Amino acid sequence: MRILLGVGAGIAAYKSALLLRLLTESGHEVRVVPTRASLAFVGTATWEALSGRPVTTDVFQNVPEVEHVRLGKEADLVVVAPATADLLARAATGRADDLLTAALLTARCPVLLAPAMHTEMWEHPATRANVATLRSRGVHVLDPAVGRLTGADSGAGRLPEPEEIAEAALALVGTPLRQDLAGRRVVVSAGGTREPLDPVRFLGNRSTGRQGYALASAAAARGAEVTLVAANVSLPDPAGVAVVPVETTAELRAAVREHAAAADVVVMAAAVADYRPATTASSKLKKDGDGGLTLELVQNPDVLAELAQDRLRPGQVVVGFAAETGDASGSVLEHGRAKALRKGADLLVVNAVGAGRGFGEVENEVVVLDREGTDVVRSGGTKEHVAHAVWDAIRTRLV
Ligand code: CTP
């Protein structure tokens, strides 16, 4: 497929180098058309080297080829990242004052714009109106991500991660991003189990399921057949993923093991309760006098350790997560390494939680360890970005 990648003059232009890589590695022919001002951030040499094609910014180069018409007409997909406030304005008003805007006017294929700018510029009525105009004409304008901006400030206006832009753009033409998990069956568990005390109360945890859902979506986008065992998650079902809802650890264990029997990969991203009440009352527990209440808890099976031990399918890759806070007896990573050795999983994804980190947060930071506790990969960023990095590590272990 022929993709035209437009690059606007924003600091996030460097992320488009990764976007270009993703698109070319997915087997597409990409022609980069930067705006002249964007070259102050990333220069022509980078785009030419990465795309393997010449790069021009204005309509007066390669005149005999009438590039400003040809580029747009020949493209099967146009992606612009970052789309600055100025570029959105020029596109919305139909200007054709450089090669990129001219190509936008001649393109008849799907067009995706990924805006990036400061929050004030994104929220300005002029920008809002330009975005509304473009969307009303069928142009796909992504919402920018929320997070750290160029300076010390943060808010809406960040360029989404290259993987998300590539996925969203390729979805417009019905071609998924990478297909390196095609033909693979994977099971992902997500969320947090709940152990009922009585019909209205339970022991649970703060897991939102976001990282597990991001892992399931990323695997599906890369071609895998995905079963997502979801423990008490209130997120929308990811596209193309079979979701099996569960509540307790016993239910999660049964569902994971059932589907793991035919799976190439099992990723245990769920926060599984280590203990459950010894008994569950069939009617609501009543206060009994003024004293306290002592609960008797019994240990749940360790689903991950069992999977690592049993190896339900030959060659299966078993992946665990370790959410750690660190304490007096060891750092996050020290606890992670000890857990990697203890659990016997092929890979263990360690992340720091607590004090506003980990649970439900937009960003995540992880270290992937192998069975001996050695670093395989470090990744940080959105949970989608982390999910792809984890799959990159898993893929190298698939036989
Ligand atoms: N896990 C599991 N079954 C359990 C507990 C945890 O399968 N009963 C899995 C989780 O899905 C995760 C990994 O084990 O992939 C690590 O979970 P975590 O709660 O961090 O580890 P624990 O074994 O519970 O260790 P500890 O609570 O002592 O830190």
Closest C-alpha to 366, from 230, 375, 395: 375
Closest C-alpha to 255, from 275, 227, 220: 227
Q: Which CATH superfamily is domain 185-282+290-395 in?
A: CoaB-like (3.40.50.10300)
pLDDT in tens, 286-298: 988 888 889 999 9
Mean pLDDT of the chain: 92
| CA 195 / ligand 1 centre spacing (Å) | 15
Catalytic-residue membership of 364: no
User: DSSP readout, 324-337?
Assistant: E--BTTB-HHHHHH
Q: Which residues line ligand 1 (CB under 6 A)?
A: 268, 270, 272, 274, 300, 302-304, 320-323
CA distance 33 to 160: 20
Give me the residue label for tokens 């960040």.
158
Residue nearest to atom 24 of ligand 1 (CA): 274
In the predicted structure, residue 20 carries a pLDDT above the cut 80: yes
| Same fold yes or no, 2-171 and 185-282+290-395 | yes
Residue type, 43: G
Exactly one of 62, 130, 205, 300 is catalytic; which is it? 205
Q: Given pLDDT bands bounded at 50, 70 and 90, which one contains residue 360? A: low
Which residues have CB under 8 Å from 299's CB, separation 6+? Answer: 274, 275
Q: Which CATH number fits domain 2-171: 3.40.640.10, 3.40.50.720, 3.90.180.10, 3.40.50.1950?
A: 3.40.50.1950
Which residues have CB under 8 Å from 316's CB, separation 6+? Answer: 260, 263, 264, 265, 266
To which H or E segment does residue 7 belong?
strand 2-7
User: DSSP readout, 301-321?
Assistant: P-HHHHHHHH-SSTT-EEEEE
Q: Which atom of ligand 1 is nearest to the CA of 300?
A: 8
Residue nearest to atom 17 of ligand 1 (CA): 322
In the predicted structure, residue 355 carries a pLDDT above the cut 70: no
pLDDT at 42: 98
In the predicted structure, residue 352 carries a pLDDT above the cut 60: yes
Among 42-46, 55-59, 203-207, 268-272, the range scoring the smallest mean pLDDT is 55-59
pLDDT at 362: 58
User: For the chain, which residues make up each domain, given as ranges?
Assistant: 2-171, 185-282+290-395
Q: Given pLDDT bands bounded at 50, 70 and 90, which one contains residue 361? A: low
| CA 225 / ligand 1 centre spacing (Å) | 25
Beta bridge partners of 385: none
Q: Which atom of ligand 1 is nearest to the CA of 303?
A: 7
Q: Per this entry, what is the length of the chain?
A: 399
Do the beta carbons of residue 350 and residue 373 sit within 8 Å?
Answer: no
Residue nearest to atom 14 of ligand 1 (CA): 304
More confident residue, 312 or 174: 312
pLDDT at 29: 86
